[in-house]
Structure 1
Amino acid sequence: MLVVEQLRKSFPTAQGPLPVLQGVDLCLARGSSLALMGESGSGKSTLLHLLAGLDCADSGSILIDGEPLDGRSESALARWRREGIGLVFQHYNLISSLNVAANLAFQARLAGRHDPQWLDYLTQQLGLMPLLQRYPEQLSGGQQQRVAIGRALAARPALLLADEPTGSLDEASSDEVLALMLQLVGEAGSSVLLVTHSPRLAARLQRRCVLHAGRVQAGPV
């Protein structure tokens, strides 16, 4: 469902353009999972921002179900972010003024796909039922990340983009949260692209690859 071809992105500096992505090729089948690894500064987060329609590439193409993402209007890109993808970040990005229940429903309501039965199932699986009336500041890091995962999957997005989603958690919590996320991704029918520094976590996904010197290198299947 996702095909990236010869994607290039540079950023301006006082010394001239700094190339970050230098011809990235990537593909992801519907319902599959891919771990993207690479050293800090290799462009992993930049790639996710391009896939999310938050930034524009210098050249190359991103195809979603055969349709180009680049060149879409701002309203079409906003619809893609609202309906086509779910985002899970290392630092949660929950809305502090909303309680857990409202945070969980937020993305699905924006997408016009609020399904109370599916949301109730997510809430139970994520162990959040006793926490629905709490606010983000009243939660542990692991609890906040579970809310972020539930929010991202509530609309059953075609693609889940996860940027170091367990980077703030200890090893045991990371393993537990990732296992739960992958289970729910499968039940939602979503594809997932996970950015991680951890070979241990990457090994849990179907495919692995490494971003190095601005290009993707295939890893062991």
Structure 2
Amino acid sequence: MLQVQAVYKSYATPQGPLAVLQGVDLNLEHGSSLALMGESGSGKSTLLHLVAGLDNVDRGMIRIGGHRLDQMNETQLANWRRTEIGLVFQQFNLISSLKVEDNLAFQARLAGRYDAGWQAQLIERLGLGELLKRYPEQLSGGQQQRVALGRALASRPGLLLADEPTGNLDEATSDEVLQLLLDLLNDSPTSLLMVTHSPRIAARLASKVVLHGGRLASAGAR
């Protein structure tokens, strides 16, 4: 599903180029889950943004399914993001002017993949049935993140990218949202790459890798 090979990324600073990723290799199997760990500044979010096609590599290859991201132009990347991946962030990023039911369907409709049956399953399994007519500001943090998960999964993406998706939630709510996510992934073909600083959360995923100083320091499977 995901292959990252010899990826380098640096950014210009007044003091000169800052190397963030220095030859990272990473693989994620179809239908599996992987936790990406590392201290602040290790390159976790940078790598996630590269895999999401939100930034370009300096050198190296990123292949997702049959697509080489490093060979695609901005228009191709935008179309690919709309149809092939789901994104979940620490900030819920719901559309404040849309009700829950419309937020849930937004990505799937944009991708031309709206499926009323799958939408109904997501609503039931995420416990959102009584919240459909509410607006995001009327929801708790845990409820908003459940809506964000449903929106990301509604188009049945091949890859779900999550950047600290439970970072704004208390531990009990975090565990609840994570369990809902893993249960849904077990019943779908979607693979998961999650950035997290929490060993407790990482232990729930199939495997993990640790970035240190822009390089892959270690990896392990559950």
**Is the TM value for this pair above 0.5?**
yes
Distance of 2:117 and 2:66 partners within structure 1: 32
Who is 1:23 aligned against? 23
Matches within 5 A, 1:83-162: 83-162=83-162
Distance in 2, matches of 1:50 and 1:59, equals 11
Q: Which residue of 2 aligns with 1:170?
A: 170
Residue-pair matches, total? 221
Find the aligned partners of 1:152 and 1:63 in 2 and give their Cα distance.
21
Aligned twin of 1:53: 53
Question: Partners in 1 of 2:210 and 2:134 — Cα distance?
Answer: 39
Residues 153 and 188, structure 1, Cα contact 8 Å, conserved in 2: no
Aligned-pair distance for 1:65?
2.4
Contact persistence 1:84–1:158 (CA under 8 A): yes
TM-score by length of 2: 0.97
When normalised by structure 1's length, the TM-score is: 0.98
Q: Percent identity?
A: 67
Instruction: State the alpha-carbon separation in 1 of the partners of residues 150 and 115 from structure 2.
Output: 12
**Relative to structure 2, which stretch is displaced further, 128-137 or 58-67?**
58-67
User: Counterpart in 1 of 2:43?
Assistant: 43
How far, CA to CA, are the matches of 2:144 and 2:188 in structure 1? 20
Cα root mean square deviation, aligned: 0.9
Deviating runs (4+, > 4 A) in structure 1? Answer: none
Cα deviation digits, residues 24-75 of structure 1 (max 9, x gap): 1000010000001001111111111111111101111101224311121222
Q: 2: distance between equivalents of 1:185 and 1:79?
A: 23
**Cα distance in structure 2, aligned partners of 1:208 and 1:142:** 25
Decide which moves more: 185-194 or 118-127.
185-194
Name the CA distance, whole Å, in 1 between partners of 2:7 and 2:134. Answer: 42
Partner of 1:68: 68
Residue 216, structure 1, aligned to residue 216, structure 2: yes
2:14 aligns with 14
Contact 1:36 1:196 in 2 (8 A): yes
Given the alignment of the two structures, is residue 34 of structure 1 paired with residue 5 of structure 2, yes or no? Answer: no
Deviates more, 1:137-146 or 1:178-187: 178-187
5+ residue gaps in structure 2? none
Amino acid across the alignment from 2:216: V
